[in-house]
Amino acid sequence: MVGMFLPVTFVDPTFAALGLVLVLVIFLILDLLRASQLPPLSKPIASFLAPYVDGRDFRGPVVISHIFLLIGCAIPLWLALATLTRSGTGCLAGWEVPTRDVSMVSGVICVGLGDAAASLIGRRYGHRKWLWGGGKSLEGSVAFAAAAFAGLTAASAWLRLGGWATTDEPMGPLVSARNAGVCASMASLTEAVLTGGNDNVIVPVVLWTCVKSLGV
C-alpha to C-alpha distance for 180 and 193, rounded to whole angstroms: 20
What DSSP string runs through 22-64?
Answer: HHHHHHHHHHHHHHHT-TTTHHHHHHHHGGG--GGGGSSSS--
Cα end-to-end distance, the chain, whole Å = 22
pLDDT of the residue at 33: 85
C-alpha to C-alpha distance for 23 and 40, rounded to whole angstroms: 22
C-alpha to C-alpha distance for 93 and 109, rounded to whole angstroms: 30
Q: What percent of the chain has pLDDT over 70?
A: 95
**Confidence bin at 34 (pLDDT 50/70/90):** confident
* Residue 67 burial (CB count, 10 A): 17
Name the nearest CA neighbour of 111 among 38, 177, 206.
206
Is 65 a residue whose pLDDT tops 70?
Answer: yes
Task: For residue 108, give the 3-state DSSP assignment.
Answer: helix
> How confident is the model over 148-179, as pLDDT tens digits?
999 999 999 999 898 888 887 778 889 999 99
C-alpha to C-alpha distance for 33 and 72, rounded to whole angstroms: 23
